[in-house]
Amino acid sequence: MDQGEMFGSAKWLGFDGITRTPVVRASFEAGDIISAEITICGLGYFELYLNGRRVSEDLFVPVTSDYCCRDITVNGQPFDEVFRHRCYCLNYDIRPYLKDGTNDLGVALGPGFFAQETWSFDGHVSFGEVRLCYRILLTDADGKTREVVSGEDARWKQGEVVSCNLFRGEKHDLNVCGENWMTEDISAWNKVRILSEMETEYQLQDCPADRIVRTIVPIKLMEGPRGTLYDLGENITGWVVIKDKSKRNETVEVRFGEMLDTRGQLESHYTHNQKWQVVSDGTGRIIHPRFTWFGFRYFAVQGEADVLYAAVIHTDAAVTSSFHCASPVLNWLYGAYVRTQLNNLHGGIPSDCPHIERRGYTGDGQLACEAAMLAIDYKSTVRKWMRDISDCQDEITGHVQNTAPYTRCGGGPGGWDIAIITVPLNYYLQYGDPQPLIEMYQGMVKYLDYLELHSENELVVSDRAGEWCLGDWCTPDPIKLPPPYVNTYFKVKALDAMTEIDIILGKPENLMWSIRKKAACEALIHNYYDPETHDFAGNVQGANAFALDIGLGDHVTLEHFFERYEELGSYDTGIFGTELVTRLLGEKGRYDLEYRLLTSEKPNSFGSMMRTGATTLWEYWSDCEYQRSLDHPMFGAASKQLFYDALGIKQAKGSAGWREARIEPAFMDWLPEARGHITTPLGKLSVAYRKTLLKTEISVEVPEGMKAELTVKGKTLSLSAGLNESVWENN
């Protein structure tokens, strides 16, 4: 909808064009009313107060989007792609916060992504200055509605957050704006400016906001010259809550990090320059950061302050699964992935990491989306993110960005951009909702045409001038797979997916997909297949798996694939190859080898990561010489096999929304027991088994309305709704 539909006659309020963290006040009369609601948007982030009370526990709202048109340069040249723009707004019931007579409205604003400072690493370009717009509808007992809107009567001043960088931290000066800002006289405050309307589509936020989901009392490790050091016991995203005990104008500083060095201090490389500073007003206030979060396990406090607790903050998405088995490594993998994925959900974005970049990389997001849909309540968040992908597709060329919403970044035309096809398809298969497929279909077609134009001799060789063109990424050794090989593999996967989508949507057969697939496969064979060895690209870093997954190669190619990982006993793959190798081993019936890789504690394995004491998944394998972020979800894509193969919970072929399921635990020969569940659109689907020398006891709980079968050692049973228990003799 447009501004008038969303906000009526309300105006966008601006300030001095420099201040990025103002507080705003206005008053209005309520009288005898029976209902009151506010529609509000404060960009980048806002906190809403009425009569001194905070309205809602939502944090970092509205969710991030490609808000409006902005000036962008790439390598000094104007960015010429054309996007669609969207701005999310919030609607709250405010009747419980109002009183008869005069009511005071207050809003604290922070820059968020919208008004973020430009800094060299990020290359981010601001959308503009912070701004605020709201519309209040008051209804009296006679059913008459009155409108209160943002306008020239509002006043503002600098808030207590005097400096805010989303990626680095905040500085608070409690002397600038005290706790009484909601009740003090505002006659001397600054007048607002009226800003022009934004050319964008307005939409009410329909996905969960960030919230404080739990708290942790930290353990004090030591006191030293650089402050008192604390440990949370796990890597989280959020902030620390302290009670300031300093004298007026003294400073408390909190530094955050993911790892300690050999001296037991914060390892500077893993602080990512994150810190929070507070200049005291001497009143002993309880305080916390306001407009950013931090990614950390350890923190150091320098100055006079009591640490009360740490708040774990991320998108309010429930964990809707469980997994436990006899393997410590598999248990660790499940827990580490869930924690990592949640840590990377902020502002409606599935990010790559929660501290350094915070971008919605389409590569990481499409790779882990299926695992996320199985493990957590992800539906409305991924639905929003698909809009970001679609909004940031170039309307002229069909190019899909490597991040959504778009921020200049690295990636590639295959494993990243293919998100425009794979995410809506996975969404349909998991939830049974075809609407995103329908809405994004033309964009998918346009993207595949774009890939054709960026192919040479049928191999995908470029993305966009001046941008990275990656294949696989984050391999333990230097990348050996040629990017055109990997990107052309993804092109074939996209073409196969389009054939499947056409069937789902009831469209006539499009021979173009099969023609393009054949040409791409022939190019892969011509350029990368060795007829003497039957290997593709030297069978390194999962190369044979990429070919086998799209129907290339022969039985020798397959045997060489098996032999390589039998010999290695761990991974040599990057973010795409790891998921692919793990999944393909199961699809080819080599569950023994799949289990061995997943549970390995050799270098470059999940077990080796676990041995370091990690509580979240790392950007690189733990044995890599180079390491950066310790909170990256992409390798967690392989965790979906815990449900599909360890528990054997799979959706029947041709089913969507889990209308039909087949249960076939594949790891029973190596796992004496396992249990877990997922939550389908029809309800909870759980499996538990326990194997002894003579028998195996299995229980499966099936939700009402689901058709399900259990297969063990070639024997199949039909299951009914409710709890199904059976005992199988071990031959």
Distance CA 727, CA 731 (A): 13
Helix (H) or strand (E) holding 698: strand 695-702
Q: What residue has token string 């990348």?
A: 479
Which tens digits make up the pLDDT trace of 417-455? 999 999 999 999 999 999 999 999 999 999 999 999 999
Q: Which amino acid is at 358?
A: R
Q: Are 65 and 388 in contact (CB under 8 A)?
A: yes
Q: Which of 285, 335, 294, 334 is nearest to 314 (CA)?
A: 294
- Check residue 485 and give its pLDDT: 98
Q: How far is CA 603 from CA 52, 501, 606, in A?
A: 56, 40, 9
Assign 63 to helix, strand or coil. Answer: coil
Token duo for residue 141: 């007992």
Q: Which of 207, 611, 457, 600 is nearest to 581 (CA)?
A: 600
Distance CA 541, CA 219 (A): 41
Q: Are 393 and 447 in contact (CB under 8 A)?
A: yes
- Check residue 84 and give its pLDDT: 97
Q: How far is CA 1 from CA 112, 135, 198, 627, 645, in A?
A: 23, 15, 12, 45, 45
Please give the domain boundaries of the chain with CATH numbers for all domains: 3-207 (2.60.120.260), 212-315 (2.60.120.260), 322-646 (1.50.10.10), 660-729 (2.60.420.10)
- Name 510's bridge partners: none
- Check residue 121 and give its pLDDT: 47
Q: Using H for helix, E for strand and C for coil, what is the string for 130-198? A: CEEEEEEEEEECCCCEEEEECCCCCEEEECCEEEEECCCEEEEECCCCCHHHHCCCCCCCEECEEECCC
- Check residue 468 and give its pLDDT: 82
Which tens digits make up the pLDDT trace of 83-123? 999 999 999 999 999 999 999 999 999 999 999 876 544 45
DSSP characters over 517-551: HHHHHHHHHHHHEETTTTEEGGG-TTHHHHHHTTT
- Name 662's bridge partners: 650, 709
Residue-averaged pLDDT of the chain: 96
Q: Which of 53, 62, 107 is nearest to 86 (CA)?
A: 62
Distance CA 305, CA 243 (A): 6
730 versus 594: the higher-pLDDT residue is 594
- Check residue 123 and give its pLDDT: 53
Q: Report, as an integer, the average pLDDT of 294-315.
A: 98
Phi-psi region of 347 (alpha: psi -120 to 50; beta: other; left: phi over 0): left
Which tens digits make up the pLDDT trace of 285-297? 999 999 999 999 9
- Check residue 224 and give its pLDDT: 84
Answer whether residue 513 shows pLDDT above 60. Answer: yes
Which tens digits make up the pLDDT trace of 484-503? 999 999 999 999 999 999 99
- Check residue 450 and give its pLDDT: 96
Which tens digits make up the pLDDT trace of 26-82? 999 998 899 999 999 999 999 999 999 999 999 999 999 999 999 887 767 778 899
- Check residue 624 and give its pLDDT: 81
Q: How many residues does the chain have?
A: 731
Assign 436 to helix, strand or coil. Answer: helix
- Check residue 408 and give its pLDDT: 83
- Check residue 124 and give its pLDDT: 59
- Check residue 120 and give its pLDDT: 43
Model confidence at 729, pLDDT cuts 50, 70, 90, reads confident
Count CB neighbours of 704 within 10 A: 9
- Check residue 151 and give its pLDDT: 97
- Check residue 725 and give its pLDDT: 96
Q: Report, as an integer, the average pLDDT of 196-203.
A: 97
Percent of the chain with pLDDT strictly greater than 90: 92
Return all residues near 179 (Cβ < 8 A) that are at least 6 apart: 283, 285
